[in-house]
Amino acid sequence: MRGLDFVAASCGHRYTSGMCHHYVGAKKHPELYAGAFDIHSTLFEFTLPNYWPLSKVPIIRPNDNGEREMVPAEWGLLPFWWKPTDKAPKRSGFQRKCFNAKSEEVDKKPSYREAFKRRRCLMPAEEFFEKGHYFHLPDFTPFAFAGLWERWRHGEETVESCTLLTTEPNELVKSVGHHRMPVLLTNEEQYAQWLNPDIVERKVLEPLFLPTDPATMEFYKAPEK
DNA sequence: CCAGACGTTGTT
DNA sequence: GTCTGG
DNA sequence: CCAGACGTTGTT
DNA sequence: GTCTGG
């Protein structure tokens, strides 16, 4: 059994669910990420290859020297201003509603607009899941979701979290009956533009949000449980 | 003013 | 205990 | 995966 | 933190 078949067979998902809420990272080949994303310091220790909302996932962001670093973050963005209340005492309740961000409005939403200006990141992946199908690039080449990250502090506790942008589906994703898809970045030029701190206007970054050319993607049906 | 929201996709 | 929404 | 829900009638 | 609906 090939590694990816094992991943697909072992993940226990439900096939009716929607949203961009399940993807596959690398379990045994972080060096692929380092090569594909030009990482200068790799601090992250990989855990499971399957990620769902609230999983710890690797993100790539510029550090203070402008070099890219890979660090862990919780998938589900927690804004810096979030506070617990009697009605919503746990941050996980908020975070599990913030694992996708609409690219069309990401610069306007209170939860995302500050991170959009100054805290963009890459979320490395090899496959993403929609409607019972895994989508990937030829040879499972690593790519990145366009992501945002945030830092939340409360007393002694610090939480770093992230979210991924969504856009219209291309024909391939439409063909399985889904109405949105993640924004995919697939080459160094796109990575560099997305992480460029001098760009803060959504309009300038908008070309990155176009649905990926379906001719450059492949997919397969997840095995029945 | 002040309490309450601040989110997404898909489905009803 | 089991299902499901995120 | 895993946190959170899981129920009804009647009243506000 | 900031905006909006009441």
CATH number at residue A100: 3.90.1680.10
pLDDT bucket at A197, cuts 50 / 70 / 90: very high
Helix (H, G, I), strand (E, B) or coil at A147: strand
pLDDT bucket at A36, cuts 50 / 70 / 90: confident
Helix (H, G, I), strand (E, B) or coil at A215: helix
Nucleotides on chain C that have an atom closer than 7 A to a protein CB are 4-6
Average pLDDT in the A156-164 region? 95
CA angle A132, A133, A138 (to 5 degrees): 170
Q: What backbone torsions phi and psi does residue A78 show, to the nearest 5 degrees?
A: -110, 110
pLDDT of residue A28: 60
Query: Residue A215 belongs to what domain range?
Result: 3-221
Question: Please, what is the average pLDDT of chain A?
Answer: 86
Q: Is the dihedral of CA A134, A136, A139, A142 positive or negative?
A: negative
Distance in Å, residue A2 CA to nucleotide B4 C1': 51
Residue A209 · residue A167 · CB < 8 Å: yes
A8 burial type by CB count under 10 A (0-12 exposed, 13-18 middle, 19+ buried): buried
Average pLDDT in the A182-194 region? 96
Query: What is the amino acid identity at position A71?
Result: V
Average pLDDT in the A124-136 region? 92
pLDDT of residue A101: 96
Residue A73 · residue A56 · CB < 8 Å: yes
Q: Is the dihedral of CA A108, A18, A220, A6 positive or negative?
A: positive
Instruction: Confirm whether any atom of chain E, the nucleic acid strand, is less than 7 Å from CB of A110.
Output: yes
**Contacting residues 111-170/A vs strand E (CB within 7 A):** none
Nearest nucleic acid nucleotide to A111, CA to C1' distance: B6
pLDDT bucket at A40, cuts 50 / 70 / 90: confident
pLDDT bucket at A11, cuts 50 / 70 / 90: very low
d(CA A172, CA A10): 25
pLDDT of residue A202: 97
A163 burial type by CB count under 10 A (0-12 exposed, 13-18 middle, 19+ buried): buried
pLDDT of residue A143: 93
Number of structural domains in chain A:
1
pLDDT of residue A162: 97
d(CA A122, CA A33): 11
**Contacting residues 81-100/A vs strand B (CB within 7 A):** 81-83, 87, 97-98, 100
pLDDT of residue A223: 78
**Reported ipTM:** 0.83
Instruction: Confirm whether any atom of chain E, the nucleic acid strand, is less than 7 Å from CB of A223.
Output: no
Residue A22 · residue A13 · CB < 8 Å: yes
